[in-house]
Protein backbone atom coordinates (compact mmCIF):
# COMPACT_ATOMS: atom_id res chain seq x y z
CA UNK A 1 0.00 0.00 0.00
CA UNK A 2 1.32 3.44 -0.92
CA UNK A 3 0.75 6.69 0.92
CA UNK A 4 -1.51 7.74 -1.98
CA UNK A 5 -3.63 4.59 -1.48
CA UNK A 6 -4.00 5.53 2.18
CA UNK A 7 -4.97 9.11 1.29
CA UNK A 8 -7.54 7.87 -1.23
CA UNK A 9 -9.07 5.57 1.40
CA UNK A 10 -9.18 8.15 4.22
CA UNK A 11 -10.12 11.13 2.02
CA UNK A 12 -12.09 9.68 -0.93
CA UNK A 13 -13.12 13.16 -2.11
CA UNK A 14 -9.51 14.34 -2.19
CA UNK A 15 -8.20 17.60 -0.75
CA UNK A 16 -10.25 20.82 -0.70
CA UNK A 17 -10.05 23.02 -3.78
CA UNK A 18 -6.68 24.77 -4.10
CA UNK A 19 -5.03 22.48 -1.52
CA UNK A 20 -2.90 19.34 -1.62
CA UNK A 21 -2.11 16.73 0.99
CA UNK A 22 1.39 16.55 2.46
CA UNK A 23 2.36 13.36 4.30
CA UNK A 24 4.86 13.92 7.13
CA UNK A 25 6.60 12.04 9.91
CA UNK A 26 6.00 14.99 12.24
CA UNK A 27 4.43 18.42 12.25
CA UNK A 28 7.73 19.81 13.57
CA UNK A 29 9.93 21.84 11.23
CA UNK A 30 12.41 18.98 10.70
CA UNK A 31 9.73 16.41 9.91
CA UNK A 32 10.41 14.08 7.00
CA UNK A 33 8.13 14.36 3.96
CA UNK A 34 6.93 11.22 2.22
CA UNK A 35 6.15 10.89 -1.48
CA UNK A 36 2.67 9.67 -2.45
CA UNK A 37 4.12 6.75 -4.45
CA UNK A 38 6.31 5.45 -1.60
CA UNK A 39 5.25 2.06 -0.26
CA UNK A 40 4.41 2.40 3.42
CA UNK A 41 5.86 -0.91 4.66
CA UNK A 42 9.18 -0.14 2.92
CA UNK A 43 9.40 3.19 4.78
CA UNK A 44 8.25 1.93 8.19
CA UNK A 45 9.56 -1.40 9.40
CA UNK A 46 7.47 -1.28 12.60
CA UNK A 47 3.91 -2.60 12.65
CA UNK A 48 2.65 0.69 14.11
CA UNK A 49 3.76 4.19 13.08
CA UNK A 50 2.47 7.73 13.32
CA UNK A 51 2.09 9.88 10.23
CA UNK A 52 0.62 13.32 9.88
CA UNK A 53 -1.42 14.61 6.97
CA UNK A 54 -1.10 18.34 6.39
CA UNK A 55 -2.78 20.62 3.85
CA UNK A 56 -0.73 22.96 1.71
CA UNK A 57 -1.87 25.70 -0.65
CA UNK A 58 -1.19 24.59 -4.21
CA UNK A 59 -0.43 28.18 -5.23
CA UNK A 60 2.24 28.55 -2.52
CA UNK A 61 3.77 25.22 -3.55
CA UNK A 62 3.91 26.33 -7.20
CA UNK A 63 5.52 29.65 -6.26
CA UNK A 64 8.19 27.90 -4.18
CA UNK A 65 8.83 25.32 -6.91
CA UNK A 66 9.18 28.06 -9.57
CA UNK A 67 11.62 29.95 -7.34
CA UNK A 68 13.77 26.83 -6.86
CA UNK A 69 13.83 26.24 -10.61
CA UNK A 70 14.82 29.86 -11.26
CA UNK A 71 17.70 29.65 -8.75
CA UNK A 72 18.83 26.36 -10.26
CA UNK A 73 18.77 27.82 -13.78
CA UNK A 74 20.73 30.87 -12.59
CA UNK A 75 23.42 28.62 -11.10
CA UNK A 76 23.69 26.52 -14.27
CA UNK A 77 23.84 29.64 -16.47
CA UNK A 78 26.45 31.21 -14.20
CA UNK A 79 28.57 28.06 -14.31
CA UNK A 80 28.30 27.93 -18.10
CA UNK A 81 29.41 31.58 -18.34
CA UNK A 82 32.25 31.09 -15.86
CA UNK A 83 30.78 33.53 -13.32
CA UNK A 84 30.73 30.99 -10.45
CA UNK A 85 34.08 29.28 -11.08
Q: What is the pLDDT of residue 56?
A: 81
Strand ranges inside the chain, DSSP E: 19-24, 33-34, 52-57
* Structural domain range at position 15: 3-81
Confidence band, pLDDT 50/70/90 cuts, at residue 15: confident
Burial (CB count within 10 angstroms: exposed 0-12, middle 13-18, buried 19+), residue 23: buried
Q: What is the pLDDT of residue 49?
A: 79
The chain-wide mean pLDDT, for the chain, equals 78
Q: What is the pLDDT of residue 4?
A: 92
Into how many domains does the chain fold? 1
Q: What is the mean pLDDT of residues 49-60?
A: 80
Q: Which has the closest alpha carbon to 36: 51, 23, 50, 53?
A: 23
Q: What is the mean pLDDT of residues 51-73?
A: 71
Q: Is the pLDDT of residue 85 over 60?
A: no
Amino acid sequence: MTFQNLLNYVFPNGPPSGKRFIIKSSLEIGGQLFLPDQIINQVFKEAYSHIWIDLEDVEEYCKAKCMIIQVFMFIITSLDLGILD
